[in-house]
Structure 1
Amino acid sequence: MHPSPPSTERPPARDRYRWYGLVAIAFAVSLVIIDVTIVNVAVPAIITDLGATATQAQWVQEAYTLVFAALLLTSGRIGDRIGRRRLLVVGIGVFVAASVLAALAPTPGLLIAARMLQGVGGAAIFPATLSLINATFTGRERGVAFAVWGSTIGGMAAVGPLLGGWLTTEASWRWAFGINVPLGALVVAGLLAFVVESRDGDARPGIDVGGALLSAGAAGALVFALIEGRTLGWWAVREPVGDWWPGPLSPVPYLLALSAVLAAGFVAHQRRRAAAGRVVLLDLALFAIPSFRRGNVAALTVSLGQFGILFALPLWLQNALGYTALQTGVALLPLALASFVAGGVGGVLTDRFGAARTVQLGLVFELAGVSWLASVIAVDTPWWATVPALAVYGFGVGLATAQLGNVVLADVPASASGQASGTETTAQELGSALGIAVLGTVLFTELGRSLTERLGGAPDLVDAVRESAGGAIAGLAADPATAAVADAARAALTDGARTAAWTASAFLTLGLLASLRLRTATAPRDATPVR
């Protein structure tokens, strides 16, 4: 088997527009980041306005993740074949159209459906940005490019909570989605003006439809089971599921088993097609590259702790401490600003110590920041107490997130950028979905346990607070007859947020241990066979 040469359409090394193009690429993925951070802040308002339950609130965030994770591998491979810039532009178009539908949604169900469509667009955007950078920059420039990519994401993450909080407080949470229309138009203009098309010039004809269906099914079943486990029950049925599901056993273990079977079927299918010399969705030979294999394991583990805590924090700040959406955005600003700063510092550190060491340093900061945050979460926490903890955490996120992609893709041939970046992003999203599912379960389980203990029972009140994700606390506080219940609910929600933060700290510890095997890659980028 012979090495595959670089894509014939790869931009010239001295193309004077490639750095302008990098800005457009970074802002393209930042469109997704802004949306995620805005939604985090807007969730309490969505719950109140649409009458959503706690499970529906999780689905507003997780519906996007479900589709996003299920389509990443397929999208990355499509980008390799039809052109990564073309896929990126199409993805932004779908994302913007779905944002309009989300902004107009009259019910939680329709909002969740719109978020699923956003996931289709996001699945095209994220791997396309990574693979364009991987195909455009080499050597030291790659570390700088990934640092610019990461710092731009950090900057937009700073804008997101403030913009979302301001729009939600002064106008409506619906504008949190509507803002994507003008932003998307600006990004598309930049991509068309400055980014040169890139694709796998040696791609063979044919589409691995079976691989696409198996990978999407495996990822979708896994994420769905993780999201619904708390509601349906992890083993026995927690509450009546409906006429469509008989018996005492929950559908969740069946979905987990189905995911494992489909994943095994996907691997077997890819091996058979590769042995027959046919086109595959994912070249399993990529996992022979140590940096790629170990980087994906680290990406999965790190994401468990990185993103789950961002689901719990806005609920605690608004429903327990009484912050407005805008105040919540301001409170989360230290995290985003520190991430922005770290993105720039990361390039210098990577140039001196290598991407792997930069990732490990970032995880140390993340672990310290989340542990610090867990120690200061209380029902009477002053606004300034979370600032240094969130700043330390954000600095670590900025270092680790950008350079982890650099580690994973360092030895991957440019012609395989799409499928490789799709694999890495799939690992991140599965870790994120698992983190949100587990930390959401921890948050609401501890909330229910603590409130039941404080009230000495009162299951109806406990269910009302838990199912509203704490949104019912304001109403309870407004009625003198239930003011004491509101105080107990604030304390219980605080207990849940603190436990979720310590759980995130445990996940990040695992991520740090997994990252210790990472090494800065030195092998030639086109030395690995790709089918």
Structure 2
Amino acid sequence: MRKWSPLIAICLGTFLLLVDVTIVVVALPAIGDKFGAGYADLQWVLDGYALALAALLLGAGSLADRYGRRRTYLIGIGLFALSSLLCAVAPNEQALIAARILQGAGGAAMFATTVALLNVTYHGRDRGVAFGVWGAVNGAAAAAGPLAGGLLTEHFGWRWIFLVNLPICVAAVWFTVRSVAESKAPRAGRFDLPGTISFTVAAGAVTYGLIRAGEAGWTDTVALTAFAAGTAALLAFLAAELRSDHPMLDLSLFRRAPFAVLIVAAFLTQAAAFAYLPFTTVWLQQVLGNGPVDAGLVGALPMAVASLVVGAAAGRLLQRVSPRWTVGFGLLLIAAGDLMQARLDADSTGTALIPGLIVAGIGVGAVLPSLSSAVLGEVPRERSGMAGGALNTFRQLGFALGVAVFGTIFAHRVSDGHGQPAAFADGLNATLTVAAVVALVGGVLVLAVVRHHPVPASGPQAPAPSPTPAPSHA
């Protein structure tokens, strides 16, 4: 048991931070009813967390390499526990959104250290076992989130989806303090403060602009100002990374077309496969009258289970196939699944979504395990930590920006139809159609550009090597 205590500590934190991406989805209508919040505020309950997680992940990895991964992991758990409590007692939607942003910061500190901690703790066969279990926990978190959120919301109230985090955080701290050894990078570079700040501002401003445009229109002065600020911050980020001796993201990696396309594919996968689910939940609960449990069972669980089954059953086989096929055709399956769902009308029931969710889930199960090994196979081993951090960052950004874009489409169609059931169905159809186009574009890009098998011994089953001067991230 003592040998696997570090794995338990790391898996507890990983499960928490990933399940909190999706556990809130089925609780959104209940939160909206409690606070009288509109679509824009509900989008921020999701996006505040995802954006903080994405924007701070690379910077947190750099800090962990410099000051200690165990210390950073423990700080992340503490911040996650405190912010979960603040979420649970939030008196209004503004306080809840602020607490969710803080929760994302804690999640970033945890997520940025998980791979490195496992890598330095386990060796040989034990390392393979550890990363296999950790990968299964990643999949289980996606499957458990909607159902756990539905059960807690329906039987105890939405605040319990945050309160339940507290005892798990205590257990994670106990296991970490007792069993996880401290480790640092021997030659860690300086913390990239300009890059971290400019990247955070760029992501936040663009997302705010998208959500604001959905409310007030694309010519709204505030929305246009946010887009301008986001563009300026993005340019500042690019300039900071090009000039830095220790960038948190080495932009030269993107000169290799397959790497750049795979990162784009990760971004598009999260948007196309997951970012429409909040609006599916709104339709299931507010229009069809399903409870949170039924909304979780029908609206998200079929995809999560299909993805988990495919990833577990075919994981080894998929690793032997070129990512051109697994990622490319996986994205095409996601596109097909989205289109299968985009056939709703005023008389449709939730079961109409299930076949398309299963097909999309099969695509997700093919894409996600292959992406990790494919991305790491496109970079030198000394850049594997940074490449893994970039992959996770862009995945979370895809979800956050996808929610913002799809929310604009959905809200526009619903308002045009004066909130009638047919308008909700039309809004969801439009959202799913755009999601399908996003997945189709990603699939075509991968099939056109990525042409060779990834380098063996990369990916989750053969994790990043011991740290080097490059930051080592999750």
The TM-score, its normalising length taken from structure 2, stands at 0.86
Q: Displacement, 1:144?
A: 7.9
Q: Displacement, 1:498?
A: 1.5
Q: Displacement, 1:297?
A: 1.9
Say whether the 8 Å CA contact 2:319–2:370 is kept in structure 1: no
Q: Displacement, 1:507?
A: 0.9
Q: Which digits, 9 at most, give the CA deviation of each residue in 1:228-272, with x for residues without a partner? A: 2212432x22xxxxxxxxxxxx12233223222222222222332
Cross-structure match for 2:462: none
Distance 1:140 1:500, change over 3 A: farther
Residue number among 407, 420, 427 corresponding to 1:496 in the alignment = 427
1:519-530 mapped onto 2 (5 Å cutoff)? 519-522=452-455, 530=470
Q: Does 1:301 align with 2:268?
A: yes
SS of alignment partner, residue 347 of structure 1: helix
SS of alignment partner, residue 353 of structure 1: coil
Alignment partners' CA distance in 2, 1:132 and 1:510: 36
Amino acid at match of 1:252: A
Alignment partners' CA distance in 2, 1:132 and 1:355: 27
Cross-structure match for 1:214: 198
Cross-structure match for 1:485: none
Amino acid at match of 1:227: I
Cross-structure match for 2:110: 125
SS of alignment partner, residue 30 of structure 1: helix
Say whether the 8 Å CA contact 1:200–1:416 is kept in structure 2: no
1:86-485 mapped onto 2 (5 Å cutoff)? 86-132=71-117, 148-192=133-177, 197-204=182-189, 206-234=190-218, 236-237=219-220, 250-274=221-245, 279-288=246-255, 291-331=258-298, 332-355=300-323, 357-375=325-343, 377-412=344-379, 416-449=383-416, 451=417, 462=418, 465=419
Cross-structure match for 1:510: 441
Residue number among 81, 89, 95 corresponding to 2:66 in the alignment = 81
Alignment partners' CA distance in 1, 2:32 and 2:198: 34
Larger Rg: 1
Amino acid at match of 1:348: R
Distance 1:171 1:529, change over 3 A: closer
Alignment partners' CA distance in 2, 1:44 and 1:422: 33
Amino acid at match of 1:175: W
Alignment partners' CA distance in 2, 1:346 and 1:137: 25
Alignment partners' CA distance in 1, 2:173 and 2:327: 31
Q: Displacement, 1:107?
A: 0.9
Alignment partners' CA distance in 1, 2:339 and 2:131: 28
Distance 1:156 1:523, change over 3 A: closer
Q: How many residues align?
A: 460
Say whether the 8 Å CA contact 1:102–1:111 is kept in structure 2: yes
Say whether the 8 Å CA contact 1:151–1:398 is kept in structure 2: no
Distance 1:53 1:397, change over 3 A: same
Alignment partners' CA distance in 1, 2:109 and 2:66: 13
Alignment partners' CA distance in 2, 1:425 and 1:368: 25
Say whether the 8 Å CA contact 1:34–1:157 is kept in structure 2: yes
Q: Displacement, 1:222?
A: 2.1
Cross-structure match for 1:476: none
Say whether the 8 Å CA contact 1:356–1:404 is kept in structure 2: no
Alignment partners' CA distance in 1, 2:379 and 2:171: 31
Q: Displacement, 1:415?
A: 5.3
Amino acid at match of 2:305: L
Q: Displacement, 1:289?
A: 5.0
SS of alignment partner, residue 114 of structure 1: helix
Q: Displacement, 1:27?
A: 4.1
SS of alignment partner, residue 23 of structure 2: helix
Structure 1: gaps spanning 5 or more residues: 1-15, 238-249, 452-461, 466-488
SS of alignment partner, residue 260 of structure 1: helix
SS of alignment partner, residue 342 of structure 2: helix
Amino acid at match of 1:272: R
Query: Quick check: 499-508 or 144-153, which moved more?
Result: 144-153
Q: Displacement, 1:23?
A: 5.8
Residue number among 55, 66, 90 corresponding to 2:40 in the alignment = 55
Q: Displacement, 1:80?
A: 2.6
Q: Displacement, 1:299?
A: 1.4
Say whether the 8 Å CA contact 1:366–1:397 is kept in structure 2: yes
Alignment partners' CA distance in 2, 1:346 and 1:147: 13
Query: Quick check: 174-183 or 124-133, which moved more?
Result: 124-133
Distance 1:429 1:273, change over 3 A: same
Residue number among 32, 35, 45 corresponding to 2:20 in the alignment = 35
SS of alignment partner, residue 173 of structure 1: coil
Distance 1:227 1:21, change over 3 A: farther
Cross-structure match for 1:3: none
Residue number among 21, 24, 29 corresponding to 1:44 in the alignment = 29
The TM-score, its normalising length taken from structure 1, stands at 0.78
Q: Which digits, 9 at most, give the CA deviation of each residue in 1:446-467, with x for residues without a partner? A: 1122x2xxxxxxxxxx3xx4xx
Q: Displacement, 1:319?
A: 1.1
Alignment partners' CA distance in 1, 2:228 and 2:171: 44
Q: Which digits, 9 at most, give the CA deviation of each residue in 1:405-433, with x for residues without a partner? A: 22223354565455333322222222222
Q: Displacement, 1:41?
A: 0.4
Distance 1:404 1:24, change over 3 A: farther
Distance 1:69 1:143, change over 3 A: same
Q: Which digits, 9 at most, give the CA deviation of each residue in 1:197-224, with x for residues without a partner? A: 55422224x3332222222222222222
Amino acid at match of 2:102: L
Say whether the 8 Å CA contact 1:147–1:402 is kept in structure 2: no
Cross-structure match for 1:68: 53
Q: Displacement, 1:47?
A: 0.7
Amino acid at match of 2:438: F
Q: Which digits, 9 at most, give the CA deviation of each residue in 1:333-372, with x for residues without a partner? A: 2222222212213422234314554333432332222221
